[in-house]
Homo-oligomer: A and B are copies of this chain.
Amino acid sequence: MKDVINVKWAGDMAFEASIDGYSLLLDAKPEVGGSNAGPRPKPLLMTSLAGCTGMDVVSILKKMKVELSSFNIRVEGTLTEEHPKQFTAMHVIYEFTGHNLPLDKIKHAIELSQDKYCGVSATLKKAIPITYEITINEW
């Protein structure tokens, strides 16, 4: 299976990406010649991981009839200080809010995503350790 994306230089450090019919402007910080007109590439990589595992988890929990009132994912990436400034680890914090949330089902949904379904996580895991934690807010 193949997937293709395109980015077109938009002057200075800006690039306009075409992804699945959507347009997204990427840009760098002013300190390195950018105009801060869009997100940076590295946080985008972490966003890709969050979106991938997030979609798995909501889809699995829906099949398990688990109702969430809100669901948030934070990804913390650790990078080297030297060039190339690359990721050495990522930590995913899954935060669920709801009433009578079943921890076992939630844990299982995350395990299925991390071990079986999330292709971004499977790709990145070959390069760096990916860890996670779960927070549940009952109301």
- The number of chain A residues with a CB under 8 A from chain B is 74
Contacts of A8 in B (CB 8 A): 70-73
Counting CB contacts under 8 A, is A137 at the interface?
A: no
Contact A44 B72 (CB under 8 A): no
A25–B68 alpha-carbon span in the complex (Å): 19
Per-residue interface assignment for chain A, residues 82 to 122, with 1 indicating a CB less than 8 Å from any chain B CB and 0 otherwise: 01111100000000000000000000000000001111111
Q: Which residues of A are interface residues toward B (Cβ below 8 A)?
A: 1-9, 12-13, 15, 17, 19-20, 22, 24, 26, 28, 32-34, 36, 38-52, 54-55, 58-59, 62, 68, 70-81, 83-87, 116-128
Number of copies: 2
16 inter-chain pairs at a CB distance below 8 angstroms, sorted by A residue, are A1-B79, A1-B80, A5-B74, A6-B75, A7-B75, A9-B68, A9-B71, A12-B58, A15-B73, A17-B51, A19-B43, A22-B39, A42-B52, A80-B119, A86-B119, A86-B122
Contacts of A127 in B (CB 8 A): 123-127
Partner of A121, one of B49, B75, B79, B84: B84
